[in-house]
Structure 1
Amino acid sequence: MAKYRRETYQNPDQPPKRGHKGCLVVIVLVVVLLAAAAFGAFSVMQDVNGRDKLGDEVVVTVQQGENSASIARSLKDAGVIKYPNIFRYYLKYTGESANLQYGDFTLVQGQSYDSIIETMSQYVKKETVSVTFPEGITAQRFAQLMEEAGLCSAEEFLDVANNGDFSQYKFWKEIPENPDRFMKCEGYLFPDTYEFFVDDSVYNYVDKLYAEFDAKVTPELRQRASDLGMTLEEAITLASFVQEEAGNAEDARVSAVFHNRLAEDSPYPRLESNASSYVQNPEDNNYIYNWIAPYYGGWDNIPENIYNAYNTYELNGLPAGPISNPGIDAIEAALYPDEEYLEGKYYFFVTDKNGVYYYAKTKAEHDANVSKAFSVQ
């Protein structure tokens, strides 16, 4: 007699049935997730509404122009809040972001968002000092003015300006690492009038100047430099000479003379500018004599490589770096030389005691202009 075996066939389109153990695991996981979500929601609400147990008093500093993301991070770092992103969203949807002020604010770790916002919406006057930096002054003069204002020592300023990490700015990373360069910061400290916080860090002081330079030198100016076949460093170096030799309505013409001298086919490939030369005259505004020499303790102590890199009467082309910190007019003139004087191939200029400029195309014409300029009473 044949024996038959009963077999169970399962529809392949149906999932296999879970056992009791599998169901239990799923239930436990759901409970854990719900508990975690509930705890997270409770923690967030406690952060928004304030903790039951408050912490210490802390001072949070907000800089002028600082955005809500940066403020939220500062609050978290100080232990005032736990969730900076939640605080940002709270500011956004309550419309309170625009009401936040800058300054030093005394807060308590764990206080509610509303009380934080209320405190930080009150203007806190922070002591400031106004400093004016004229166009064309050197980095060392910048440092002296900062010291005279009582903000920091000149030595501290120059150390940070030359050696600090300002890689957040594209221009800083483009400055060549040249052992013959006198000061890395020269040319990039933008001259203007600034309000500085008293007792702020030296880094923030310098950063304020570099940020202004970065804002003033627009992508359009950068593109113009590129169109001329110049790096930004070359453009700023040339601008510093335009600033020192003119710094007035003659900027574009003086720039054209320098461009002609720097051209590949130039018969006069040296700038030959008294603004950076071998001349030892206290009355001249000579970068080597007035600034480099005192820095090294006297003319005879100037390192030979530095002297050679800045003496424009012996050096072909541009020197190792800018010789001052030019204003925006000089920078634009360096990039947009006078077309008539550029195409006319003017290679010389001289000024008389009244500030009148005489331009020449040849050495003979220039010699005649020099005689004329020096004869003016």
Structure 2
Amino acid sequence: MEEHRNQSDTDALLEELLRETEEHTPAEPDQPPVPEEPGECPAEPVSDPEPEPESDMEKTQSFQSVKHVQEEHAEAGQEKHAQEHSRKRPVANSAKRKHPKQSHPSAKHGRVHAQGKKRRRTNLPFVLVWTTIVVAISVVLSVGLLAIGKDMYAVDKDTTEKIINVPENATTDQIAQMLYEEDIIRIPRMYRLVSKLNGSDGKYVAGEHVVSASMSYETLTSTLTKPVKAETVRVTFPEGITMLDAAKLLEENKVCEASRFIYFFNIADYNYDIFKKMPKSSDLKFYQHEGYLFPDTYEFYVGMDPELVCQKIFMRTNEIISEGKLEDLDMTYSERMEELDISLDELMTLASMIQREASSVSSMKLVSSVFWNRLNDAETFPRLQSDPTSKYVEDVIKPNISVANDAIYEAYDTYKCIGLPAGAICNPGRDAIEAALDPTDSAFYYFCADTETGEIYYAKTDAEHEANLEAIRNHTKPSDNLDAEAGQERPDEDDDAE
């Protein structure tokens, strides 16, 4: 019974499958009827033979065949549906579906490899940035180390010698700063380190030492910790000395040749404040730096380099001008120059005239007042009319100038030029400089001196001045000689004739 029921179920399933197959199988087109020829009898319909009953095996095979056909039909339907769906989508998506996903292990490896490439492409800018930073730091460090090495070992540095004056009990920091300010070294911190490693700290010898930027740091520490062993000579430059006479004095004491000293002194340009205030060279100046050789006693080496001689003198002059102070006015030289509205060169020129005109320190301020009164009334007194300026032209310029130059002669002669001469006519001392900055308040416009007694006579008018000159010539004392406290009145214009 049960076998019969199972057989019935199987038959019903096969029939249902066959029915579905027929429904999905496209029907063949109807064949047109074949016309019958006349005279022929119509053909009798041929009946299909009755099918023989199928066995269980045949039914099973049939079921499997139908199932296979249905699977193929289903796959064909799916492909057709996919093709229709792809026509509706963009081309890009269609292109993607042309390569269906693969389940093969190599496909998975390809995806992993592609993702790795993508990650590497994403990290590339970061790697480039870090590489650039590392290279830049390396270059900077290399350049820095090269600069330090070149400075420490004085590679390609200036060979000009300079004088360094080491003060008593100077520290390494102070000496390093001095060397830095003189352009001997560029890295004070490294010099301090070398000094410490060499055991030079606390061993520096006070006094003057000759050094140059071409010395290595080790050589500098060795030089500055040893006393200078050389023959020295003391030379005194008196107040009012000319550069020409100073050069002769140096040569006489075997310090250096006079001509070389004059050459280097006039082209000098050191890192001192006075050089920042000096005007540029002038074609009307005979000696460019006449007036800047401060009169004092100096100690030089025998056979010393003339450039070092000049540096030592300028160092002293710079010290006097930069640190000078007028005690009565409680003002520095620079402050007073600014108040009087005069340049450093004008100050030294005026001071040189005062130095050569005044016979004593007490008369310098009164002589200064005469020059200032004339300068402040240039319309009435355009010329200063100082005899020493004319003498400088005759005694210094003309005998030593290579080609005669009337323009230079007139620029120095205050009987011909307007106002101050083109440059200083000697090298003034401290008293003359301070007299030029702080003159006595007076009404004098003239003065003359008795060369035998050194006494100076002052006058407010030209008539008084001529009377003083006549008295000197006659060896009589002028009756109208006034002291510094008199003559406070400004002379009338009618009495200003020269």
Q: Could you say whether these structures have the same fold, taking a TM-score greater than 0.5 normalized by the shorter chain as the test?
A: yes
Give 1:110 deviation, angstroms.
10
Counterpart of 2:458 (choices 324, 347, 359) is 359
Give 1:99 deviation, angstroms.
2.6
1:68 to 2:176 alignment: yes
Report the equivalent of 2:47.
Answer: none
Report the equivalent of 1:202.
Answer: 306
Report the equivalent of 2:227.
Answer: 123
Report the equivalent of 2:333.
Answer: 221
Check 1:88–1:373 CA distance in 2 against 1; reply closer, same or farther (3 A cut). Answer: same
Structure label with greater radius of gyration? 2
1:1-377 equivalences under 5 Å are 63-66=163-166, 67-68=175-176, 85-89=189-193, 91=195, 97-101=201-205, 103=209, 121-166=225-270, 168-171=272-275, 174-218=278-322, 220-246=332-358, 247-264=360-377, 267-277=380-390, 286-296=391-401, 302-339=404-441, 341=442, 345-352=443-450, 353-374=452-473, 375-376=475-476
Q: Which has the higher contact order (CA 8 A, sep 6+)?
A: 1
Cα deviation, 1:138-170, whole Å, max 9, x if unaligned, reads: 111111111111122111111111123335444
Give 1:70 deviation, angstroms.
6.0
Give 1:195 deviation, angstroms.
0.8
Check 1:350–1:119 CA distance in 2 against 1; reply closer, same or farther (3 A cut). Answer: closer
Cα deviation, 1:62-98, whole Å, max 9, x if unaligned, reads: 9441523566999x99xxxxx9734414647999545
Which sections of structure 2, spanning at least 5 residues, go unmatched?
1-118, 150-160, 167-174, 324-331, 478-498
Check 1:129–1:95 CA distance in 2 against 1; reply closer, same or farther (3 A cut). Answer: same
Cα deviation, 1:193-217, whole Å, max 9, x if unaligned, reads: 1011234321111111111111111
Q: Which amino acid aligns with 2:448?
A: V
Q: TM-score, normalised by structure 1?
A: 0.70
SS in 2 for 1:196: strand
More helix by share: 2
Check 1:167–1:371 CA distance in 2 against 1; reply closer, same or farther (3 A cut). Answer: same
Check 1:234–1:62 CA distance in 2 against 1; reply closer, same or farther (3 A cut). Answer: closer
Q: Distance in 2 between matches of 1:110 and 1:237?
A: 42
Q: Which amino acid aligns with 1:332?
A: E
SS in 1 for 2:387: coil
Report the equivalent of 2:487.
Answer: none
Assess if the C-alpha contact under 8 Å between 1:310 and 1:319 holds in 2.
yes
Assess if the C-alpha contact under 8 Å between 1:103 and 1:125 holds in 2.
no
Assess if the C-alpha contact under 8 Å between 1:269 and 1:316 holds in 2.
yes
Assess if the C-alpha contact under 8 Å between 1:69 and 1:84 holds in 2.
yes
Assess if the C-alpha contact under 8 Å between 1:260 and 1:266 holds in 2.
no
Aligned pair count reads 323
Q: TM-score, normalised by structure 2?
A: 0.54
Check 1:193–1:118 CA distance in 2 against 1; reply closer, same or farther (3 A cut). Answer: closer
Give 1:365 deviation, angstroms.
0.9
